[in-house]
């Protein structure tokens, strides 16, 4: 079997934890921050986990990160 290519943008955006969960950072933190509330900016500072519904799709993009 030939090697499978890893999706280039996905390897920059996702990390797989030791327990197998996929960690990501929140969106909406790069620009136009004046119009966003302090609470929203503070919440998006933290990391997040990919939802179980999307986990299989992300794992397919990262074949060697399991």
Q: What is the pLDDT of residue 50?
A: 97
pLDDT at 66 over 80: no
> pLDDT per residue over 3-38, tens digit each?
999 999 999 999 999 999 999 999 999 999 999 999
pLDDT at 1 over 90: no
Alpha carbon distance 9, 48 (integer Å): 17
Largest CA distance in the chain: 51
Domains located in the chain, CATH noted: 8-61 (4.10.410.60)
25 φ/ψ angles, rounded to the nearest 5 degrees: -105, 155
Q: What is the pLDDT of residue 23?
A: 97
Residue 11 token pair:
């390897």
> pLDDT per residue over 33-64, tens digit each?
999 999 999 999 999 999 999 999 999 999 99
């Amino acid at each position: 079997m030939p090697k499978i290519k890893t999706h280039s943008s996905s390897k920059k955006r996702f990390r797989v934890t030791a327990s197998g969960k996929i960690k990501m950072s929140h969106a909406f933190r790069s620009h136009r921050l004046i119009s966003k509330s302090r609470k929203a900016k503070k919440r998006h500072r933290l990391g997040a986990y990919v939802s179980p519904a999307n986990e299989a799709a992300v794992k397919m993009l990262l074949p060697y990160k399991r």
